Amino acid sequence: MNSFEKFLDDLSNFEFRKLNPLYQGFFLMLGFAITVSTCAYFSNESRISKEVYKNMFKENFSGIIVKKYLDKHNHMSHTFKLKDSSGVYGYSFIWEKTEIGDSLVKKANSRFVKIFKKDTTLVFDMNAAFKYHDTFPEDEK
């Protein structure tokens, strides 16, 4: 019997009740901590997504992109600098589709972002980027 087969045999014959009570407690606490951490992570993710969605919905910007960069002071987030010197957070799926010289338009109380390129116009529905969808009124204009 090779070592791997011996390991599998020992594993199949393992009984938690025969384990030292100190180790039993450790494994139970570890399992509990992993469960709580996982639940907290996913509930926090949806709350953050909801808040970011609400903030995005209120945003209003329009201009020509003069610079794309990672903002070192804001957790290396994607950022656009527009011709009027304003900074706009660049959601990842928009960041990938834009180039310097493109125009960005996002009206307040709208979930749609438009990218005007030299030869085409792209319209993004921000609901595609967020896991949280609410019943905000929409302006598709």
pTM of the full predicted structure? 0.57
Q: Which two tokens stand for residue 24?
A: 């039993």
Share of the chain above pLDDT 90, in %: 22
Distance of CA 100 to the CA centre of its chain: 24
pLDDT digits (tens, 9 = 90+) for 31-81: 999 998 888 776 655 555 677 777 778 889 899 999 988 888 877 888 888
pLDDT-derived band of residue 140, with 50, 70 and 90 as boundaries?
very low
Going from the C-alpha of 130 to that of each of 30, 97, 104, the distances in angstroms are: 32, 17, 19
Where do the structural domains in the chain lie, given as residue ranges?
A: 1-141
Among 2-6, 53-57, 83-87, the range scoring the smallest mean pLDDT is 53-57
- The span from the CA of 44 to the CA of 126, in Å, is 20
